[in-house]
A and B are shown apart, each in its own frame.
Chain A
């Protein structure tokens, strides 16, 4: 990620919209060869000081018309993030110690010998070089080698292509625009569980509303932090930025952020897959466990007429806790919704946590008021675990089905009705 001082945004004061800087293939075609050159500067720059590399990047980008300093600084930061710099603090401190101790008795070191001051600079440097067994230019070059801008590039193994570097820049600028965000709203039709998981990992608070039917659920997430009810705070901006990067790997979402602009005016920022930003993350795994995959395959092979089978399509919200049942079954004719939870692992900790979560959520009504019967539950477990888990989860009083490859989905419906 880049720093906030590298952020370039454009404020549209008429529509009160903020747009982060973005390089486009059509209008910014010059940047592709420049990106190639920038990567070469770093690949060929092993042993160069950071400030020298930054100087070369600046020269490279200054050749392009109107490249602002922030954009140059942002590219330097992105390239530095892919780099390893050498900083042998101990050795450099030892050198400084030797140099300053050597010179301590020779203060003041003067340009030209005069009167009582006879420690002439050239003379002192020669003596110092002799004492340390190194020429003065080398001592001078190494004296502050541990200072950030003077550290030398040791490794640049980045596999980024020029196009990927430009894509990373676009993502980084979008994230940086969110540093000034006070709240984000995400409307999503897929990947709810992943969105919630990343928001939780980012330490955000949520409000969740169902905004469409059980047949095609669509949720509205509002993410912010504890302070948000007290004041407009950009404290959580970096968390929104982290969340946005994760969203890029998902489908079916639209993010709207409230961003504080000049004079604390509120601007809107929109982001969705249509922006074409690319993620460095992989799309989320299709299933949490192999049992879950097998259960899904079994349904797809022999679906029951009248029932709609959906994966992770329902959110159960209890304050700041959220549960996403693995599957849902919906029967429109009967107006009946069934949460299907697959218990795919059997470590004691996992089972204990699962039991606690089911107790917390099994009696909860779905998010949003929907004219459905009280939802029912169905737990699916591996056949060989069935007896054990029937006993362990007995107090939940929920139907439990043992699953193996011969199990037909018809038996699941029977269990629900039974």
Chain B
């Protein structure tokens, strides 16, 4: 550094970190591993806020006493103060939870902990929060989980954590937010937390949500998930944004120990004659469309249909046919999803398990409402307000309601009372959704009785293929 150059300073700016008053030569030498870019708009070097801690460490040595570090309001090193966090917990960590905590500690306090649903990932995270006593932001995928984390933090520490999302914007040193709210607000709050916990961390891998990690200066980063993304590229991105996989427990390891034992039963139902006829007609329409398109363009795939439907100016005839084929596809899916036989099968299963609590997962909100209206049972959908969700969950936990219907809202992480029977109707083929859904019925309760997952699919339809895709995962292997 030149003796007469201005005093170097570093600040946080809208989810990035700016470095002023440093020469290129110095930066290349002292901060070689950090992807810094020169920003002529502000005459500074700039990088993502997630590198703040590495920058501080890199500059501390070479610029000791001469660096003006202006990063972080609550979280900055200069203002670092341990938070007063009481430990009001009544629980003792299990062996596997202790192992996860230890792996995180020894792994540099940055990384992923992979544990199946129901094995107490939250317990691990709260243990770390209490140990570190620093400002912490918990990022969760859905609003239910936000309130659930809030309740758990309150129970474990007595702290009324801040909430950012669902129309609330109350930022506190310990706060909980959703991924979407985090991505939106991180340019303004990214400098306020020393620790960040990503619950269901696989949600972070998308480009927009990645900003929730990039724009935070938090040095301590914990990612929790039951399943890492299927493709290496997305996993690699999580490793970059949060840290390496530090602890991993498979469902097979957890089953029978921290999870209940389980079995999967697939039940095939048939379409009615009328449904079958309409299903065939729509299938034929789609096949004819694809055949005709391949005559025009041999490389044509069904996936190209949506884009083709918008090409009304360039190829009006093909676009019109694409619109008709898409409509046929939608109606075909509706027949699968809403098949009468599914409701009849549900009735049979409700009779069979009439004394048990049952969760029904559907592939659409419409089907969830249809079941709710047919059997007069509560359904949890995204339209439900906080109060209503709590009410149905509490009623379900008390056994007042025997059945709870849900579309995607309960897929991940939302804590439920002991449930030994679940029924899946339709749904997507993604393995993650399958594991999360299975996780909901695997919670170990008193007695450790074997849990059952029923999967109701319509014979001779695409649902069978989707079910097969789901069952490729280890979580589904013990199918009968």
Binding site for B on A (CB under 8 A): 8, 10, 21, 65-71, 89, 93, 96-97, 99-104, 106-111, 117, 121, 124, 128, 140, 143-144, 146-148, 205-207, 225-227, 229-230, 235, 319-320
B37 interface residue per 8 A CB criterion: yes
Q: How large is the interface on B (under 10, 10 to 19, 20 to 34, 35 or more residues)?
A: 35 or more
B471 interface residue per 8 A CB criterion: no
B401 touches A104 (CB 8 A): yes
A69 touches B347 (CB 8 A): no
B320 touches A66 (CB 8 A): yes
B319 touches A68 (CB 8 A): yes
Q: CB-defined interface of B391-435 with A at 8 Å, one 1/0 digit per residue? A: 110010000111100000000000000000000000000000000
CB distance from B50 to the nearest CB of A (A): 11
Q: CB-defined interface of B43-64 with A at 8 Å, one 1/0 digit per residue? A: 1001110000000000000000
| A93 neighbours in B (Cβ, 8 Å) | 385, 387-388
B376 touches A124 (CB 8 A): yes
Tell me the residues in window 308-348 of chain B with beta carbons closer than 8 Å to chain A beta carbons: 309-314, 316-317, 319-320, 323, 326, 344, 347
B269 interface residue per 8 A CB criterion: no
Closest 10 CB pairs of A and B: A103-B376, A108-B350, A66-B312, A66-B320, A66-B316, A229-B37, A226-B14, A68-B310, A107-B402, A8-B310
Name the residue on B nearest A224 (C-beta). B41
A66 touches B319 (CB 8 A): yes
Q: CB-defined interface of B83-111 with A at 8 Å, one 1/0 digit per residue? A: 00000000000000000000000000000
B43 touches A100 (CB 8 A): no
Contact partner of A146 (CB less than 8 A), chosen from B376, B383, B391, is B383
Q: Complex formed: what's the CA distance from A140 to B372 in Å?
A: 10
Q: Complex formed: what's the CA distance from A223 to B378 in Å?
A: 50
A227 touches B16 (CB 8 A): yes
Q: With A66-B316, A108-B351 as known contacts, state yes or no: A103 contacts B309, CB within 8 Å.
A: no
CB distance from A3 to the nearest CB of B (A): 14
> Can you spell out 10 A-B residue pairs with CB atoms less than 8 angstroms apart?
A10-B314, A89-B385, A96-B378, A107-B377, A107-B401, A108-B347, A110-B347, A121-B374, A207-B40, A229-B38
| A10 neighbours in B (Cβ, 8 Å) | 311, 313-314
B369 interface residue per 8 A CB criterion: yes
B15 touches A69 (CB 8 A): no
B403 touches A107 (CB 8 A): yes
What's the count of A-B pairs with C-beta under 8 Å? 123
A229 touches B46 (CB 8 A): yes
Given contacts A66-B316, A67-B312, A143-B369, 10 further A-B pairs with CB under 8 A are A10-B313, A67-B323, A93-B387, A101-B400, A110-B351, A111-B344, A124-B376, A128-B376, A144-B373, A148-B383
Contact partner of B41 (CB less than 8 A), chosen from A71, A106, A109, A205, is A205
Q: Complex formed: what's the CA distance from A292 to B190 in Å?
A: 43
Name the residue on B nearest A139 (C-beta). B373
B46 touches A68 (CB 8 A): no
Name the residue on B nearest A140 (C-beta). B373
| A103 neighbours in B (Cβ, 8 Å) | 375-377
Name the residue on A nearest B314 (C-beta). A10
B160 interface residue per 8 A CB criterion: no
B323 touches A102 (CB 8 A): no
Q: Complex formed: what's the CA distance from A103 to B401 in Å?
A: 9
A117 touches B354 (CB 8 A): yes
Q: Complex formed: what's the CA distance from A103 to B354 in Å?
A: 14
B208 interface residue per 8 A CB criterion: yes
CB distance from A71 to the nearest CB of B (A): 8
B13 interface residue per 8 A CB criterion: yes
| A230 neighbours in B (Cβ, 8 Å) | 16, 35, 37, 46-48
| A319 neighbours in B (Cβ, 8 Å) | 41-43
| A100 neighbours in B (Cβ, 8 Å) | 376-378, 392, 395, 401
Tell me the residues in window 142-156 of chain B with beta carbons closer than 8 Å to chain A beta carbons: none
| B351 neighbours in A (Cβ, 8 Å) | 108, 110, 117
Q: Complex formed: what's the CA distance from A206 to B372 in Å?
A: 53
Q: Complex formed: what's the CA distance from A233 to B342 in Å?
A: 45
Which of B16, B373, B376, B391 neighbours the largest number of chain A CB atoms within 10 Å of its CB?
Answer: B376
B365 interface residue per 8 A CB criterion: yes
| A108 neighbours in B (Cβ, 8 Å) | 347, 350-351, 354, 375, 402
B381 interface residue per 8 A CB criterion: yes
Tell me the residues in window 202-253 of chain B with beta carbons closer than 8 Å to chain A beta carbons: 208, 211
CB distance from B109 to the nearest CB of A (A): 25
B39 interface residue per 8 A CB criterion: yes
A206 touches B350 (CB 8 A): no
Q: Complex formed: what's the CA distance from A235 to B211 in Å?
A: 9
CB distance from A221 to the nearest CB of B (A): 12
| B323 neighbours in A (Cβ, 8 Å) | 66-69
Q: With A65-B320, A68-B323, A226-B14 as known contacts, state yes or no: A102 contacts B211, CB within 8 Å.
A: no
B310 touches A21 (CB 8 A): yes
Contact partner of A109 (CB less than 8 A), chosen from B13, B369, B376, is B376
| A21 neighbours in B (Cβ, 8 Å) | 310
B320 touches A235 (CB 8 A): no
Q: Complex formed: what's the CA distance from A320 to B18 in Å?
A: 14
Q: Complex formed: what's the CA distance from A385 to B82 in Å?
A: 55
Contact partner of B375 (CB less than 8 A), chosen from A107, A146, A225, is A107
Contact partner of A227 (CB less than 8 A), chosen from B15, B347, B385, B387, is B15
CB distance from B291 to the nearest CB of A (A): 20
